[in-house]
Amino acid sequence: MAAQDLADTPLDQLFTIRAIKVDETDRSADRARRKALLGAESQAYIKLLQKITQQEDRELLPELTNEQRQALISGIEFVDEQSSSRRYIATLNVRFEPDRVSQYLADYGVPHVLGTGRPVLVVHAHQKGLRQYLWDLDLALAEARSEVDWLNRIRGYLFAKGSIQERLIMTASEVFDFNLEQANKITELNGLRATTLIGSKIEQNDDGVTVLKYRYLATDSGVEGQGEIALKDQDEAAALVSMYNDILEVIDGAWRERLLVDTASSGDLTVVVPSRSLNEFVEVQKRLAGVTLVQSVETVSVALPLSSLQISYTGRADQLAMALRFEGLDLKPYGNQMILELRP
């Protein structure tokens, strides 16, 4: 099955778990393959729940049988596969059927997201002794980043590349200081709206234990925090992996909280839309198409200076308003009506 078949809309992309790796050995290649596919489906299901639901809500869900889990899956893409007489190795993408998953979660009262946050740039400065790393990685940093699942997140995380322009804009010291002016410049340079700044150091704590200390800040949501991981029972790369995962879960959790949808609710809303120009009206319709809560849009009237649309949506009205904001649209009162317009 082709990749575009698995993920051709924002909702498809949200419900597709990518790059699941399996490696199984059994008495025959066929048995190894069947075992690997069951493992891939289980991994993908766990990653999907981590992606679209909050941790505390997952406890409400029952353990699923293989058959129940497979009923939620609509397709598997084999990105790469190899087999011998007894061994099977593959990389898979697993797509879940959005409607089936939504109904399953609604049955147990578990809200979930139906849209993703916008991509975010990651700028990470790391220090060991007197050496600071920002644009050039050492082996531990490179290994850690390769071990973290950056793909299957509610937001898309992109590392700054270390271009000449980026190096001129921001230094490691400015990352450690959370210099927002320089962070905004490097964000704009990459065509994005938000950056997550991370500053980490290997040092000894007050008890003489070697630790990884870190701080982080998400510039758009204002989510920030800090942590400390002892290196006694793990190496530096493993500690960095734990750090990345901790940071991503906090930031993703904050965004999931904003994007959670009560799929047991739905509604219809008639709005007026500024239509002083055709381009303005068309742009609103284009952005509506990217809001996954919106089920359908009907044109009620087209006129100057205001036109009218009827929107059918999943979730509550406040959840719709939040989802619209993420697509650059403002929904607000306009006399005894509601107006939907482009955000400035």
pLDDT in tens, 31-88: 999 999 999 999 999 999 999 999 899 999 999 999 999 999 999 999 999 999 999 9
Three-class secondary structure of residue 134 per DSSP: coil
Average pLDDT over residues 104-128: 90
Q: What is the pLDDT of residue 152?
A: 95
Architecture of domain 120-259: 3-Layer(aba) Sandwich (3.40)
Q: What is the pLDDT of residue 7?
A: 52
pLDDT in tens, 123-144: 999 999 999 999 998 999 999 9
Kindly list the domain boundaries of the chain, sorted by start residue.
Answer: 3-108, 120-259, 266-342
For CA atoms 251, 287, 74, 89, the dihedral sign is: negative
Average pLDDT over residues 200-206: 93
% residues pLDDT > 90 (the chain): 74
Average pLDDT over residues 98-121: 89
Strand partners, 156: none
Average pLDDT over residues 244-271: 88
What CATH number labels 266-342?
3.30.70.100
pLDDT exceeds cutoff 50 at 1? no
More confident residue, 213 or 290: 213
Average pLDDT over residues 22-28: 96
Q: What is the pLDDT of residue 233?
A: 73
Please report which confidence band the pLDDT of residue 207 belongs to, taking 50, 70 and 90 as the band edges.
confident
CB 118 within 8 A of CB 183: no
Average pLDDT over residues 253-280: 87
CB 44 within 8 A of CB 15: no
CB 122 within 8 A of CB 160: yes
CB 122 within 8 A of CB 162: no
CB 246 within 8 A of CB 97: no
Q: What is the pLDDT of residue 8?
A: 66
Distance between CA atoms of residues 126 and 269, nearest Å: 50
Please report which confidence band the pLDDT of residue 6 belongs to, taking 50, 70 and 90 as the band edges.
low
Instruction: Give the tokens for residue 206.
Output: 């007050």
pTM (global) more than 0.85: no
pLDDT exceeds cutoff 90 at 172? yes
